[in-house]
Structures are given as structure tokens and as C-alpha cells.
Amino acid sequence: MTNGSDQVFLVTGSNSGSSRGYLKKSSFHINDIKDTKILNLSSIYQSKSYGPIKQRDYLNQAIHIETKLTAFELLDELLIIEDKLGRVRKEKWGPRTIDIDIIFYGDDQISTPKLTIPHYDWENRDFFIAGLKEINCPFIKGNGLSFKNVKKLI
């Protein structure tokens, strides 16, 4: 699919219900998006919740895909997957069945109310960095985070 395709890096996260199951289902749905193919998946990482709301730990996984969709088309498809998997948006940083973030879309930089790429604050989130580093995301080299806040799961 390489001709006319973009390299994209996503991170999925879940801390409600069967989190492993939601990560697995999301990757199946992502691979079913038209003109999109999963190239690599990281291990699953456990991390503390992010933000002010006390909740259970998250499971996260980085995904390297190739797609012919624009960043906005891809975002729309990912939001449909989140809806299919029961994502409810009650409160910012609240618990969720699945969250699918576009971290990098090629080397594009986008800043709109609907989409920011690279994902805002990505450099300060160990749970993004650990999985992205594992799948050789070219933007992660030399980041230097200690990954003290994540635990690789087998």
C-alpha cells in the first residue's frame, strides 16, 4: 500500500471493563479501516491514570499504521470505532472503554480545534513514549524519559 500512503502512529488506552479486550478489538477495527493497514503493535503497557480524576490504571498500546486517508478522515474513522466500543464522553480525563489518539501523522503539523498533530503534550507522557519507542517511531529517539510510570505487561 506504500504508494501515496502516510505513516501514522497511534496510541490506544482503556481503563474500563475488559481493557485488554478493548485494545484487541480496537486494533481489529483499525485494520478494517479502508485504505489502512496495521504495520506494528507494541506490547501492552500499564500506567497510572492521567489527570485529576482518581480511577483505575490504564492499559495502553502503540500502533504503527499506513493509510491513504487524510488525518481528518482517519480521525473520523477512529471516533466511529470509539463509539462502537462504548466510549462515553462524560468528563475530561475520565474513565473510558477505549481512547484512540493520533500521535503522529507522517511529519505533518496540524493545529485545529478538532485535531492537533503531533498530539499535544506527547513528550511528557511515558505511556505514549514507551510503546512508540518499542515500535521504532522515528520521532522518539533520544527522548530520555525513564518510563518509571509505566509497566510492560506480557
User: Is 96 part of the annotated catalytic residue set?
Assistant: yes
Query: Does the structure show a pLDDT above 60 at 136?
Result: yes
Picking from 39, 38, 41, 36, the residue whose alpha carbon sits closest to that of residue 67 is 36
- Span 122-136, mean pLDDT? 84
How would residue 150 be classed by pLDDT, with cut points 50, 70 and 90?
low
> CA-to-CA distance for 139 and 123, rounded, in angstroms?
10
| pLDDT of 86 above 90 | no
Dump pLDDT digits (tens) for 47-63. Answer: 887 677 788 898 999 99
Catalytic residue among 32, 76, 87, 121: 87
Question: Where do we find the cell 497511534?
Answer: 10
3-state secondary structure of 9: strand
142 versus 145: which is more confidently predicted?
Answer: 142
- Class of the CATH-defined domain 6-153: alpha beta
| 126 tagged catalytic | no
